[in-house]
Amino acid sequence: MTVERKPIRRAGIRSAGYDASARILEIEFDSGSVVQHSGVGAEIARRLLSSSAPGSYYKDNIEEEYPSRRIK
């Protein structure tokens, strides 16, 4: 599954995207690694994508809260 990501380029996150039908949030980090989190609600994804501090929001609300798999 491919999720269309948009550039963020802040706080260690290069890009992120959300697939609402699959409830998948995909994050690309500055290191080049890509992680998909499953079961993420639309509001959580929206808040990350619009956050002025996406790295902090990710660590506080997503990283340990939703199942993840590294795809790259």
What's the pLDDT tens digit per position in 11-70? 899 999 999 999 999 999 999 999 999 999 999 999 999 999 999 999 999 999 999 999
Q: What is the pLDDT of residue 11?
A: 83
- Within-domain flag for 23: yes
- Within-domain flag for 61: yes
Q: If residue 14 lies in a helix (H) or strand (E), which one and from where to where? A: strand 13-19
- Within-domain flag for 15: yes
Q: Which residues contact 72 (CB under 8 A, 6 or more apart)?
A: 28, 32, 33, 34
Is residue 2's pLDDT more than 80?
no
- Within-domain flag for 13: yes
- Within-domain flag for 1: no
Is residue 1's pLDDT more than 70?
no
**Interior CA angle at 64 toward 62 and 67, to 5°?**
85
At residue 27, what is the residue type?
A: I
Total of domains in the chain: 1
pLDDT in tens, 48-59: 999 999 999 999
Higher confidence at residue 62 or residue 9?
62
Find where tokens 């999720």 sit. Answer: 3
**Parent domain of 58:** 6-70
